[in-house]
Chains A and B, each alone.
Chain A
Amino acid sequence: MSAFLRSTAAIIWKDIKTEWRTRENLSAMLVFSLLVILIFNFALELDLRARESLAGGVLWAAFIFAGTIGLNRSMAVEKDRGCLDGLLLAPVDRSAIFVGKAVGNLLFMLVVEAIVLPVFSFLYGISVFQPGFLAVVLLGSIGYSAVGTLLAAMVVQTRTRDILLPILLFPLTLPVVISAVKASQGFIQALPLGDVSVWVNILIAYDLIFLAVAIMVFDYILEE
């Protein structure tokens, strides 16, 4: 068990260090999120009240799109220099590789979100710093990163690498998008907890199901 945790931690730390050297991934994700928010601002031309009711949607659109950039790049690094083989040759559990990469991707997503949220708050004049809202962001990001990491591992081995990941990922993450947006909206508009809880439950269910399935299935993606 501790070997598993040690390897997972080593992989996460390695990803953090590598990213910190260049910060390319993080900057790309950050800029992209802000661009999406900007585009939506003009595309939808919302008045103040409409903005509040659509805030959750705009935010999650930004996170989802920016997320694919991070996922793609994180896997591409491993594939391009054959590093994935290096990981596969080490005496570590395959699932440690998955968990390590997925947690790394989650962390990057959370960092980007941590920067985008205050900016969004500032631009739209909506306070998003409530525990409920932040919990939703966390839950949604977990599900998204888990499925995204797995699909990225598949996609990086195809010919049509870059375009394929969003095409595969988005339909599968619709439950996350729908629930996260509804739950976020609920918290922003201070709806009663009863209304919001059903969406949070769906998020939790999604996270649990897909984490389990992903861990079970990951071996098959890496073997030859």
Chain B
Amino acid sequence: MLDKPRLLTAMDILSAVMILIAAGLVFFYAPVEQLMGQVQKVFYFHVATAWVGMLGFMAAGVAGVQYLRTEDEKWDIAGLGAVEISLVFFMVAIIMGSIWARPIWNTWWTWDPRLTTAAIVELIYAAYLLLRSGLDDPGKRARFSAIYAIFGFFSVPLTFISIRLLRTIHPVVIGSAEAASQGGFNMDDPMKTAFFFSLAAFSVLFADLLWHRIRLGKLQSAVNTLRIQSYEKES
């Protein structure tokens, strides 16, 4: 377990390369959008990171169910890792959203469904981490985190639907005719390439980070066990 698997190293390299290529595609290959100019390029990474955040959110819910079913510690670490990574990715997505929104709509924050839901998910993550910090017994901590992740999994879509029904000014990107008036735009082929490649690059990055995080968790666990065992030997 101490040796870093070759596959993981390969994945590190792959993620780094893919991100670089994605950046290249975004800045040099995809055309500059007519109405919005350079700032529109934020969109590629913004959606990609939000997408990955969503992946992490769902992964946490699934990890929760798996933990309750198997009581295998690795699912607890995976769930925690998914939450931590997703927390960062959503934060990046929100910040990029602000960068995009400011020149287009002259405001840093828009109370639109997707952005608001992302903010709510961030709060749920914060609550999740606070819950964990209030529990010392590892078994309980893992079980309760799993349960909270499952609850979040069900609650957030409902929240999103509710907010969506309330109001929307978020651009509907893919292809609608009125989209342009809301700040949306149609994508031509080079844009699509850049977009989907960014999506793929960030997904690979997510998997890479999660794998590292799970390894880290397992190593921490092993250190803990060794430490306790050494205390017991002394006494």
- Which A residues are within 8 Å of any B CB, using their own CB? 147, 150-151, 154-155, 157-161, 164, 167-168, 171-175, 178-179, 182, 198-199, 202, 205-206, 209-210, 213, 217, 220-221, 224
- The digit string for B148-174, where 1 denotes a CB below 8 A from any CB of A, is 101110110011011101100000000
Residue count of chain B within 8 Å CB distance of chain A: 31
- In the complex, the answer to whether A172 meets B151 with C-beta atoms within 8 Å is yes
A179 to B161, CA, bound (A): 10
Residues of A within 8 Å of B133, CB to CB, are: 160
In angstroms, how far is the closest chain B Cβ from the Cβ of A72?
A: 14
A221 to B141, CA, bound (A): 10
- CB pair A205–B127 under 8 Å, yes or no, is no
Chain B nearest Cβ from A166, distance in angstroms = 9
B68 on interface, CB distance cutoff 8 Å? yes
* A207 smallest CB distance to B (angstroms): 11
How many Å from the CB of A167 to the closest CB on chain B? Answer: 5
A221–B144 touching, CB < 8 Å: yes
| Nearest residue, chain B, Cβ from A214 | B151
Task: Give the contacting residue for B155; candidates A159, A175, A179, A220; CB below 8 A.
Answer: A175
A–B Cβ pairs within 8 angstroms, 26 of them: A151-B148, A151-B151, A154-B147, A158-B134, A160-B130, A167-B126, A171-B123, A171-B124, A172-B152, A173-B155, A174-B120, A174-B155, A175-B158, A175-B159, A179-B162, A198-B165, A199-B165, A202-B161, A213-B151, A213-B154, A217-B147, A220-B143, A220-B146, A220-B147, A221-B147, A224-B140
Nearest Cβ distance between residue B124 and chain A, in whole angstroms? 5
Q: Are A167 and B154 in contact (CB under 8 A)?
A: no
Cα of A202 to Cα of B154 in the assembled complex, Å: 13
The verdict on B135 contacting chain A, using a C-beta distance below 8 Å, is: yes
A171 touches B120 (CB 8 A): yes
- Taking chain A's interface residues, is the majority helix, strand, or loop, or is none over half, making it mixed? helix
Nearest neighbor of A174 in chain B, beta-carbon distance: B159
With known contacts A164-B130, A167-B130, A202–B135 Cβ distance under 8 A: no
Whether A168 lies near B161 (C-beta < 8 A) is: no
Given A171-B120, A174-B120, A220-B147: A159 and B158 interface contact (C-beta under 8 Å)? no
Instruction: Assess whether B143 is in contact with A178, with CB atoms less than 8 Å apart.
Output: no
Q: B188 in the interface, Cβ–Cβ < 8 Å?
A: no
CB–CB A217/B162 < 8 A: no
Q: How many inter-chain residue pairs (CB < 8 Å) link A and B?
A: 87
Asked if B162 and A178 sit within 8 Å, CB to CB, the answer is yes
* Complex alpha-carbon distance, A178 and B126, angstroms: 21
4 cross-chain pairs, A with B, having the tightest CB-CB distances, nearest first: A158-B134, A175-B158, A160-B134, A178-B162
Say whether A147 contacts B134, CB under 8 Å.
no
Do A157 and B151 touch across chains, with their CB atoms under 8 A apart? no
Report how far A182 CA is from B120 CA in the complex, Å. 19
Query: In the complex, what distance in Å separates the CA atom of A194 from the CA atom of B58?
Result: 33
Q: Which residues of A contact B144 (CB under 8 A)?
A: 154, 157, 221
Could you say which residues of chain B place their CB within 8 Å of the CB of A182?
166
* B175: interface (CB < 8 Å): no
B133, B139, B159: which has the most chain A beta carbons within 10 Å?
A: B159
B124 A158 Cβ-Cβ under 8 A: no
A213 lies within 8 A of B150 (CB)? yes
Specify the chain A residue showing the minimal Cβ separation from B141. A158
In the complex, the chain A residue whose C-beta lies closest to that of B153 is: A213
Chain A residues with Cβ below 8 Å from B155 are 171-175, 210
Residues of A within 8 A of B143 (CB): 220-221
